[in-house]
Amino acid sequence: MESNSSPSQAAGNARTKLDLLYHEVLGDVVGLVDRLEVTTQSLDAAQTHMQALSDAQQILPQQLARHLTDVMQAAAKPINQQSQQALQAMLSATNTRLDLLAQDAARYARIAHQSARRMALIAVVVGSAAGVLGGLLAGLALGQWLIS
């Protein structure tokens, strides 16, 4: 017969039910607050991680440029050495050929000079002989003319 129970007992029962309700609601609120604190900590950690990634991304182009420069210099050095060696070999061969051509040209110039001197000497001799012969013929003709 609970309907006949005293009002103080009913108020006590109600109070315990209300306390139970408060405890249950407070327990849920405490759980939510704990979950919020864990989520806040996770967000802080994620923000720190994202900031570190952002800093790394800002530094990355400079590091990449430096690394590319180093790689290009390292790759260009052997190519440059090979090209210099090839160029030196080609210049050496060209120098040798040019020396031979210069020697041949000097020899041909010497031969041409000697030929020109010989031709000039022959021309002087032939000219002198022609002059002497012409003088003799002119003298004979003049003598024939004067005698006649």
State the pLDDT at residue 20: 78
Average pLDDT of the chain is 85
Q: Which of 2-11, 25-34, 65-74 has the highest mean pLDDT?
A: 65-74
**Residue among 74, 96, 94, 75 nearest 86 (CA):** 94
Q: What residue segments make up the domains of the chain, in order of their start?
A: 10-147
pTM of the complete model beyond 0.75 = no
Q: Write phi, then psi, for 5 (nearest 5 degrees).
A: -70, 160
For the chain, list the strands marked E by DSSP.
none
- Give CA–CA dist 100/112, Å, rounded: 18
Scored b (16 or more CB within 10 A) or e, 103-114 reads: eeeeeeeeeeee
Query: Which two tokens mark 116?
Result: 């020109």
Q: What number is the average pLDDT over the span 3-18?
A: 61
Please determine, for residue 2, whether its predicted confidence score (pLDDT) is greater than 50: no
Weakest mean pLDDT among 2-6, 32-36, 111-115, 138-142:
2-6
Percent of the chain residues topping a pLDDT of 90: 37
State the pLDDT at residue 1: 40
- Give CA–CA dist 28/15, Å, rounded: 20
Please determine, for residue 86, whether its predicted confidence score (pLDDT) is greater than 50: yes
Residue 84: how many CA atoms within 13 Å on its side-chain side? 6
- Give CA–CA dist 148/145, Å, rounded: 5
Q: What number is the average pLDDT over the span 26-34?
A: 80
